[in-house]
Amino acid sequence: MDPRIVYEDVKKAFDGKVVLDGVSFKVNRGELAVLLGPNGSGKSTLFKMALGLVKPDSGRILINGLDASQNPLEARKLVGFIPEENILYESLKVGEYLEFIASIYGVKATNDRVESIVKLLGLNEYFNQFIGELSHGTKRKVLIASIMLREPPILILDELFTGLDPASARLVKTWLYRAAERGASILVSTHVLPVAEAVADRVIIIHKGRIVAEGKPHELKEIFGAKELEDIYLEVTGYSRELEQLTKALYE
C-alpha cells in the first residue's frame, strides 16, 4: 500500500469546542475514498488541514510524506483542492483563469488539451466570459477544469457535485475513475449517498469529530446487515426515527 494522504490522531478545537477528536485514516495511491458526515462533523476542517490552512492542535497530516503544517506550500503543489464554496478570481474571464492556473503551477498544456477540457465540461460558450457573471454550477465546472488541467497526484474535493447537472456529474465521475486508475489519491466529500456508494473504493463516516465507520461499501453493508449505504449512515450518525414519525404526523 502507498498512502498519499495520512491523518494521524488529529485533534482540533475552536473556542473550546472540539471539532476533531483523534481522527486517523489514510488514502492510498489509486484509491477513491469518500468522506461522509453531517454538517459540522469536521469534514471541511480536515480538508483545510491537508493544505496547511488550519493547523491541528495535536496529531499530524501527511501529504505524500510531507507534514502539511510544516510544509504547506510544498503540500499544496501536490493537491488539487476544490472547496465547498466556489473560490475564484471573478474579475478574470474563464480562459484567463485557466491560463493563470497553468502559469502558477508550471503546467505546459497544449491548446488542444485546454480545448478538450473546456469542451468536455461545456464551457465553450463561457470561455471569454467573466467568471463573476457565471452561475454557481458553471463556476464549479471552471474549478474542475483547472484541476483537470493540472493533473495533480492528490485530489481533495469538498462537496464536489454541488451545483452540477446530471450529465456533468456523470462526466466528473468518469474523470475521477480515470484519475484513480492513473494512480491519483482521491478524497471526496458529498451529501449525495447514492453517488458515494457508486464511486467509493472506501467510505469513511465521521460524526461529532470521530470516525464511526470505515470500509468498502459492500463490507459495511455486511457488517451492519444493511441493504443501502444510507441505512448505515443514518444509524451511525444518530438519526432519530421519532423525528421522522413527527414529520409524518404533521401531514396526517
**In the numeric block, which cell numbers belong to residue 245?**
414519525
Give the predicted TM-score (pTM) of the model: 0.91
CA atoms within 13 A on the CB side of 206: 26
Q: Residue 133's Cα: distance from chain center in Å?
A: 25
Can you give the chain as a three-state secondary structure string?
CCEEEEEEEEEEEECCEEEEEEEEEEEECCCEEEEECCCCCCHHHHHHHHCCCCCCCEEEEEECCEECCCCHHHHHHHEEEECCCCCCCCCCEHHHHHHHHHHHCCCCCCHHHHHHHHHHCCCHHHCCCEHHHCCHHHHHHHHHHHHHHHCCCEEEEECCCCCCCHHHHHHHHHHHHHHHHCCCEEEEECCCHHHHHHHCCEEEEEECCEEEEEECHHHHHHHHCCCCHHHHHHHHCCCCHHHHHHHHHCCC
Q: What is the CATH number of the domain that holds 115?
A: 3.40.50.300
Q: Which domain holds residue 73?
A: 3-249
Average pLDDT, the chain: 91
How many other CB atoms are found less than 10 A from the CB of residue 235?
14
Structure confidence at residue 1 (pLDDT): 57
Averaged pLDDT for residues 72-82? 93
Averaged pLDDT for residues 120-146? 94
pLDDT for residue 252 is more than 80: no
List, for residues 10-24, the tens digit of each pLDDT value.
Answer: 999 999 999 999 999
**Phi then psi dihedrals of residue 134, to 5 deg:** -85, 160
How many separate domains does the chain show? 1
Q: Is 126 buried (19+), middle (13-18) or exposed (0-12) by CB count in 10 A?
A: buried
Structure confidence at residue 87 (pLDDT): 85
List, for residues 129-138, the tens digit of each pLDDT value.
Answer: 999 999 999 9
List, for residues 152-171, the tens digit of each pLDDT value.
Answer: 999 999 999 988 889 888 99
User: Rounded CA gap, 124 and 73, in Å?
Assistant: 32
List, for residues 41-58, the tens digit of each pLDDT value.
Answer: 999 999 999 999 999 999
Averaged pLDDT for residues 111-135? 92
